[in-house]
Copies of this chain bind each other. A is one copy, B any other.
């Protein structure tokens, strides 16, 4: 284990190299970036034996460390999962290139022609936990958007991430792009994370990928902007004008399709006029589907307690509460929500409009499953995560959201009066 002074020097060196690579990448051609990703995909497939061998070392380390079966599963790579990584790289390769896109242009009476053009952010730090595939996903999205990236994987996936990273570097080399465009922190020492979070000269934004513990730590300690969400406390309000069939379909999908993702429903708010009818039907259907319903004003599996409001269950559990009307639902969501994704089920357009207008979650939905909260389902291609901040990237963060812009102004010897 290296000492802290070494770590600091190592990270500064990584930062300098990333900054230099970013300056080159900012005007790398779309074709070169595409070619690098295709070559990286080829390399991952060609070197899958090597990757699986590296993964075996990580699995052994994980077993010795006593990782839970869920964590061991997240860590594990086999040919099918490596095929997934290859497909992911190819998908990002074939997406449109966001850099240089003209976002707006106009003429001024002074004679100036003004364009607003997409540019990369610069250097992105990505901090993730046990899934080694994030190495490829995050590396690819950052490269596509013209950013240099410093990847800091979980200590459990150290060897797997290293093997995948070697393939990304092979892709960069094949396309004549700077190898420092995608760097992997070469130590398991946790001091490297603290360094990365405070390297304001070399890092423009941090993206944490992982659980609430990791994201909270990053949000507290980072001295650079963070694109993230801490929790997805997703609410569904069932209005008195809800279509019962749509409500049942959407709620069951939103809760049970996958319970561990940030767009999974965590709390039902039910209009008092339909509590005994549709409300009771919803609770029954959820319980039949194996969901524990912690209810207030309804008979559920269990009575709800204060701790159930604003709770991200991430499991086959849902909180449910009877509310006075849409305004009470809005008030509940403002108080207990996380500004991630919230949904209204109603056939009354005025109620939907009020819900859309008076809430400010990154994603608001009407008569649709909250499980659609996903960059792919939004048509953005791959995503690096979902952000709930007000600044810059918000909602699903894909390649286009990893960019900034600049103004290009053209005159003809034009001077200001």
Q: Which residues of A contact B (CB under 8 A)?
A: 23, 26-27, 106, 108, 110, 112, 114, 119, 121-122, 204-205, 225, 243, 245-246, 249-250, 252-254, 257, 334, 352, 356-358, 360-369, 371-372, 377-379, 390-392, 394-395, 404-416
Contacts and interface: CB of A to CB of B under 8 A. Distances in A.
A355 to B, nearest CB: 10
Contacts of A415: 249-250, 252-254, 257, 368-369, 371
Contacts of A416: 253, 257, 369, 371-372, 377
B413 A249 contact: yes
> Interface residues of A: mostly helix, strand, loop or mixed?
mixed
Contacts of A121: 390-391
A211 to B, nearest CB: 22
B106 A366 contact: no
A106 B379 contact: yes
Contact of A407 (B357, B367, B369, B378): B378
A281 to B, nearest CB: 15
How many copies are assembled?
Answer: 2
A408 B364 CA distance: 5
B358 A27 contact: yes
B395 A392 contact: no
Given A367-B413, A372-B414, 7 more contacts: A23-B334, A27-B358, A114-B378, A205-B390, A250-B414, A369-B411, A391-B404
A413 B250 contact: yes
B119 A414 contact: no
Nearest to A339: B406
A253 B415 CA distance: 6
A227 to B, nearest CB: 9
Contacts of A110: 372, 377
A257 B413 CA distance: 15
The 3 A-B residue pairs with the shortest CB-CB distance, nearest first, are: A368-B411, A246-B413, A253-B415
B406 A394 contact: yes
A6 to B, nearest CB: 28
B243 A122 contact: no
Given A108-B377, A372-B110, A411 B366 contact: yes
14 contacts: A23-B334, A114-B378, A204-B390, A204-B391, A249-B413, A250-B413, A254-B415, A368-B409, A368-B412, A369-B414, A369-B415, A369-B416, A390-B404, A391-B392
B253 A367 contact: no
A82 B63 CA distance: 74
Contact of A363 (B246, B407, B411): B407
A243 B246 CA distance: 68
Given A205-B391, A250-B413, A378 B108 contact: yes
